[in-house]
């Protein structure tokens, strides 16, 4: 069995779809399945069992001999949430308990970290282990992810294969439930559908023009390819950046969305909300040399192709 936590969420549900396409049906979904807005993400998938996340550990203890791999993709991902108790419970303590069970029963583990661990990018975006303790995330979500990365590296007992994946700016199908935290593609599509225009954040950094703030945008299908690769690779444990290695502007992203919708770009600008102005990132770009060095050689989807497929193949159909 392949166990996937966060299975009702964005990346995890899309990865289950990838597994189904590759012929895997012995998949166990773990999550809180009570959220109605997430139901569309998992109701059409092929799986053998659905487990509430609160009952997962006792279930794992009972069925550990039948498990081949664990993907821990469940987490609280809201960067605007400031209740640290939530992150301690769901992102830190839950992950530690799962790690220990994977050590106990000899199970390989891949877990979701985040590019939010890099904070304002003072130390760059390099996934070398020795840099992780120097990072300064700017919100409780990023802090919780970095704390677990540091804890994992410091542990003497580790799963025989493990990988922590620092996902950069992911966009694609199955993110509807994320609302405010959904990608700019999703927001552009909905704003253009409703108003005919898209409002991007105005730059308050003299080094960047309005809308030319840069991010490493990665299509969720490429994330699924990396996860699938690691499921078979099972060596070279460590923490890895998962991005395209390219920085593109928000104007590029919005323009690609307009194009996919068959519309001329109509972009205006608004101020960055006051509560995040001091923590707003103007540049991210993943160094993916380490991922390439272990043998992942598939090309990543271009921004234009990914946005076109997402908009025309999913959002417009929805």
Mean pLDDT of the 36-51 span: 94
pLDDT class of 265 with cuts at 50, 70, 90: very high
pLDDT (0 to 100) of residue 180: 84
**In this structure, what DSSP letter does residue 312 have?**
I
Q: What is the mean pLDDT of the chain?
A: 94
**C-alpha pair distances (Å), 4 with each of 29, 60, 91, 162, 231:** 5, 12, 15, 14, 12
State pTM to two decimals: 0.95
* Percent of residues, the chain, with pLDDT higher than 90: 86
pLDDT class of 83 with cuts at 50, 70, 90: low
Nearest to 174 by CA among 6, 4, 9, 5: 9
Cα 265 to its chain centre, rounded Å, is 28
pLDDT class of 86 with cuts at 50, 70, 90: confident
Six-digit token pair at 145?
Answer: 């992810």
Q: Helix crossing, 184-195 with 250-260: angle to 10°?
A: 50
Residues 226, 296: contact at Cβ < 8 Å? yes
Say yes or no to pLDDT of 179 above 90.
Answer: no
Mean pLDDT of the 38-62 span: 95
Query: What size, in residues, is the chain?
Result: 318
Q: 82-86, 290-294, 297-301: which has the minimum mean pLDDT? A: 82-86
Digit-coded pLDDT (tens) for 125-144: 999 999 999 999 998 889 99
CATH of domain 2-168+218-243+285-300: 3.40.50.720
Mean pLDDT of the 63-84 span: 81
Choice among 94, 118, 141, 240 that is catalytic = 141
pLDDT class of 106 with cuts at 50, 70, 90: very high
* Percent of residues, the chain, with pLDDT higher than 70: 97
Nearest to 163 by CA among 290, 31, 6: 290
141 classed as catalytic: yes
- Residue 259 has, within 13 A of its CA and on its CB side, a CA count of 13
Mean pLDDT of the 53-58 span: 96
Distance (Å, rounded) from C-alpha 302 to C-alpha 183?
Answer: 16
Digit-coded pLDDT (tens) for 210-228: 999 999 999 999 999 999 9
Nearest to 282 by CA among 135, 96, 118: 118
Choice among 50, 150, 158, 178 that is catalytic = 178
- Residue 142 has, within 13 A of its CA and on its CB side, a CA count of 17
pLDDT (0 to 100) of residue 258: 98
pLDDT (0 to 100) of residue 149: 97
pLDDT (0 to 100) of residue 242: 98
Distance (Å, rounded) from C-alpha 213 to C-alpha 229?
Answer: 31
Nearest to 171 by CA among 138, 123, 219, 131: 219
pLDDT class of 245 with cuts at 50, 70, 90: very high
pLDDT (0 to 100) of residue 7: 96
Q: What are phi and psi of 214, to 5 degrees?
A: -115, 140
pLDDT (0 to 100) of residue 88: 66
């Amino acid at each position: 069995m392949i166990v996937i936590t966060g299975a009702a969420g964005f990346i995890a549900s899309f990865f289950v779809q990838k597994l189904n396409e590759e012929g895997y049906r012995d998949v166990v979904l773990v999550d809180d399945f009570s959220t109605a807005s997430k139901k569309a993400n998992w109701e059409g998938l092929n799986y053998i069992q659905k487990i509430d996340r609160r009952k997962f550990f006792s279930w794992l203890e009972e069925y550990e001999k039948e498990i081949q791999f664990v993907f821990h993709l469940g987490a609280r991902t809201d960067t605007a949430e400031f209740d640290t108790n939530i992150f301690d419970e769901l992102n830190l303590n839950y992950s530690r308990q799962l790690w220990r069970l994977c050590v106990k029963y000899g199970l390989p583990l891949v877990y979701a970290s985040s590019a939010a661990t890099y904070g304002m990018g003072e130390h760059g975006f390099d996934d070398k282990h020795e840099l992780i303790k120097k990072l300064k995330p700017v919100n409780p979500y990023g802090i919780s992810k970095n704390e677990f990365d540091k804890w994992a590296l410091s542990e003497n007992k580790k799963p025989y294969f493990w990988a922590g994946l620092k996902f950069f700016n992911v966009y694609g199908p199955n993110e509807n439930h994320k609302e405010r935290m959904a990608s700019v593609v999703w927001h552009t599509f909905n704003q253009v559908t409703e108003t005919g225009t898209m409002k991007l954040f105005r730059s308050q950094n003299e080094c960047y023009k309005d809308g030319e703030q840069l991010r490493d945008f990665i299509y969720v299908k490429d994330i699924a390819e990396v996860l699938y690769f690691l499921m078979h690779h099972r060596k070279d444990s460590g923490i890895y950046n998962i991005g395209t290695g390219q920085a593109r502007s928000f104007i590029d992203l919005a323009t690609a969305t307009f194009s996919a919708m068959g519309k001329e770009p109509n972009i205006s600008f608004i101020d960055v909300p006051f509560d995040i102005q001091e923590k707003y990132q103007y540049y991210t770009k993943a160094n993916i040399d380490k991922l390439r060095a272990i043998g992942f050689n598939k090309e990543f989807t271009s921004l234009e192709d990914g946005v076109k497929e997402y908009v025309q193949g999913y959002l417009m159909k929805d």
